[in-house]
Structures are given as structure tokens and as C-alpha cells.
Amino acid sequence: MAMVSMRQLLDEAAKGGYGVGAFNVNNMEQIQAIMEAATETQSPVIVQASRGARSYSQDRFLYHLMLAATEIYPDIPIALHQDHGNSPATCKSAIEMGFTSVMMDGSLMEDGKTPSSFEHNVKVTREVVEMAHARGVTVEGEIGCLGGIEDGHGAGGDGLEHLTDPEQAVEFVKQTGVDALAIAIGTSHGAYKFSSKPTGETLKMERLLEIHRRLPNVHLVMHGSSSVPQDLQDVINHYGGKLKPTWGVPVEEIQLGIKNGVRKINVDTDNRLAMTGAIRKVLVEKPEEFDLRAYMKPAREAMKKVVALRMQQFGQAGHAKDYKPIPLSEIAAMYKKEAVTA
């Protein structure tokens, strides 16, 4: 099956009342892990690549691995998404390569760290919407900023500094025409989200509910949604790792979000933890081992387990064959019609 529009995938999720995990990839084993989990659970999938992932894999390696995924797993609808595009140029290069969805993260300046103005965000996001929709490609925007990741993409801090203002969210959607909206409700990227077990008050869920009330037809996106499970931390630390005590986003909070308009849930860290733990285990238990397949296979299996579990928890499991993918040219025509009647 050819890669599909993320908009179609999220529209279907909204009809079915479920969420779709968006899992980050950097290499072949991570793509295989996601596709195996999707096949086992019969799930549609969103595979996403950050700028760092595209650079690490020299771009075309990653893209061709994704083409292989569409050939090997023809029954699974796959949307290929640019995670945290920092500029219209980044999104343009993704679209030209064949990504079916892009995130223009104009909540930060092009450096991926400095919070931007509302006007800057609208300007760059609108530019990407025009370019992407003409080719049937989906656009995710972000309003408010996540915390975390000092050396990668993110505003730093604890995730509570730049929460999304619901009124601004409405204006942003009106002025940009994005298909999906990432909101900041207190999560952050990476493993160190919360320094104690989150309570019902930790995440600003009432803000999410308010945004959904005002924008009932917009697909909401939760970034920084790894749960950082204790058992994955334990494996790493048991085999010589040095993770500090930390807590992630409880799955029940994500499920509450899914009941209230969240359709895309971004997960990267949990998979990094699972793979790293599995690799450490082999290297510690079998120090004589030096065939990389001896540790990459268990690493791939560990990630598959996490992804399959999230697919069940988010509700996308069982929905792979619910609908027939629409070609991007038809989606482009739909956007054109929408623009004329607006």
C-alpha cells in the first residue's frame, strides 16, 4: 500500500473515537519494530522522523526503508510524518521527498529552542499549509511550547512555562488552516518529565478539555507522551545504566485525552529506553558477544513490545483495514474545494 495522508488516518480515528501513536524512527530496526507491532495488532501507523533522524540516516536511507515497509506490509496504512519541522524549508524538503505529513513547529524559532511570537508562528505555519495542501500533504502546527531537551528540539524548562492559551489556539487554527494541533499541557520531551509520581493535577487536562470544547473538529496532538515505565528504567539501571529517578505521562491521562479530541500521540523516549535496556542486558550478560545482531534483535523485539502495547492502549489496534486509503491527489482536490467554499 502506498503511504497515506495523515489527515485521512486522523479523520478515521476521530470517527472511531481512538488515538494513533506516532513513533519516532532513526534506523531499520525501529521501522521493523513498528511494522511488526502494527501487523500483530492490525493497526494503522504514523511513523515520524525528526530533523536529527533525517540527518543521522542521510534522509534517503530512511525514506527508502519506509518504501520497503509499504511493500512488505501492504495491508497497513502508514503515514510518514516530519516531526518538529523548524522552518518552511525543512517541511518543503520532506514534502519533496515523499513524506505524507509535516509538522511546522513555529512555536519556536528556527533554532528549535527560542519561543516565537504568535505572528511568526502563524506566518510560517500558513506558508507550509499552502505548500503542503496543494499536494495533499497534512500539516500539524503547535501553539504553546513543550519543555525539556536542552540539546535537541524544545524550549527547555519543566513544560509549565508556555502552556497553550485556548483562545489563541482558536485564532491560530482559524488563521493557518492546520489539520492537527499540538498543544502544551505540561508535558516535556525526553525521559525527565516529572521528578515525582504525577497526580491528577500534574498535567493541565482541564486546558485540553477547554481547547477541545472550543475546537471540537480539530485533531489534537499530545507530544512528550512517553510513560517512562519503571520496568524499562530498571532494566537499564540493573545492567550498569545511570538513569536518575523519573516519571512520565500516565497512560490513563493519554486515554482521557483521547476521549477529548487527542488523535495523535507522540512517543519516542519509551522506545529508546526499551532498546537501550535490551542492548545493555546482552552486552553485560554475554561480554564475549560482538555480533551486532545478537543485541539488535532483542532491542527490536523490546521496542515492538512497547509499540504493540501502546497501540492497544491508544485504541488504534484492529483498525488497519477499516477504510480504503485515498490518493494524495484526491486529498489535494478536497483541500482546494474546502478553500473555495470557506
> Which residues are identified as catalytic?
83
Contact region for ligand 13P (CB under 6 A) — 13-21, 89-97, 106-114, 264-272?
264-272
Residue 202, binding choice from Zn ion, ligand 13P, ligand G3H, none, Cβ under 5 to 8 Å by partner class: none
C-beta separation of 88 from 128 below 8 A: yes
Q: Tell me the CA distances in angstroms from 22 to 79, 266, 284, one per residue in order.
A: 9, 5, 31
Choose, by CB under 5 A, the member of 204, 223, 300, 319 that binds Zn ion.
223
Least distance to Zn ion, CB of residue 30, Å = 16
Does position 140 interact with ligand G3H (CB under 6 A)? The reply is no
Does position 115 interact with ligand G3H (CB under 6 A)? The reply is no
Choose, by CB under 6 A, the member of 12, 29, 36, 83 that binds ligand 13P.
83
Q: C-alpha angle 242/243/249, rounded to 5°?
A: 170
Q: For the chain, give the longest Cα–Cα distance.
A: 67
The DSSP element (H or E) to which 167 belongs, if any, is: helix 166-176
DSSP-based three-state secondary structure for 40:
helix
Distance of alpha carbon 143 from alpha carbon 162, whole angstroms: 9
Does position 226 interact with ligand 13P (CB under 6 A)? The reply is yes
Task: Give the DSSP letter of residue 165.
Answer: P
Distance of alpha carbon 273 from alpha carbon 282, whole angstroms: 15
The DSSP element (H or E) to which 221 belongs, if any, is: strand 219-222
Least distance to ligand 13P, CB of residue 265, Å = 9
Does position 223 interact with ligand 13P (CB under 6 A)? The reply is yes
Contact region for ligand 13P (CB under 6 A) — 27-35, 123-131, 218-226, 323-331?
218-226
Choose, by CB under 6 A, the member of 3, 13, 44, 84 that binds ligand G3H.
84
Please give the residue ranges that form the binding site for ligand G3H (CB under 6 A): 24, 50, 52-53, 83-84, 152-153, 189, 268
Please give the residue ranges that form the binding site for ligand 13P (CB under 6 A): 24, 83-84, 189-190, 223-226, 266-269
